Amino acid sequence: MKQVRIVAVGRIKTPHWLAAIDFYRKRIATPMRLDEKVVKDADPSLPMAKRLEKEAERLEALCRFGEETVVCLDERGKNMTSPAFAAWLTTLWDADRPPVFIIGGAFGIGPSLKAKTTHSLSFGAMTLPHELARVVLYEQLYRAESILSGSGYHHE
pLDDT for 24 beyond 90: yes
Q: How are the residues of the chain apportioned to helix, strand and coil, as percentages rounded to the nearest 5?
A: 40, 25, 35
When pLDDT is cut at 50, 70 and 90, the band that residue 17 belongs to is very high
Q: What is the pTM of this model?
A: 0.94
Q: What are phi and psi of 93, to 5 degrees?
A: -65, -40
First vs last Cα of the chain: how many Å apart?
27
Chain centroid offset of residue 31 CA = 18
Domains of the chain (ranges; CATH) run 2-149 (3.40.1280.10)
Look at residue 145 in the predicted model and tell me its pLDDT.
93
From CA 78, how far away is CA 15, in angstroms rounded? 30
Pairing relation of β-strands 69-78 and 2-9?
unpaired
Mean pLDDT over the full length of the chain: 94
What is the residue type of 150? G
Count the neighbouring beta carbons within 10 Å of the beta carbon of residue 79. Answer: 12
CB-count burial class (<10 Å; 0-12, 13-18, 19+) for 106: middle
From CA 49, how far away is CA 117, in angstroms rounded? 19
When pLDDT is cut at 50, 70 and 90, the band that residue 21 belongs to is very high
From CA 133, how far away is CA 73, in angstroms rounded? 8
From CA 106, how far away is CA 51, in angstroms rounded? 10
Look at residue 128 in the predicted model and tell me its pLDDT.
87
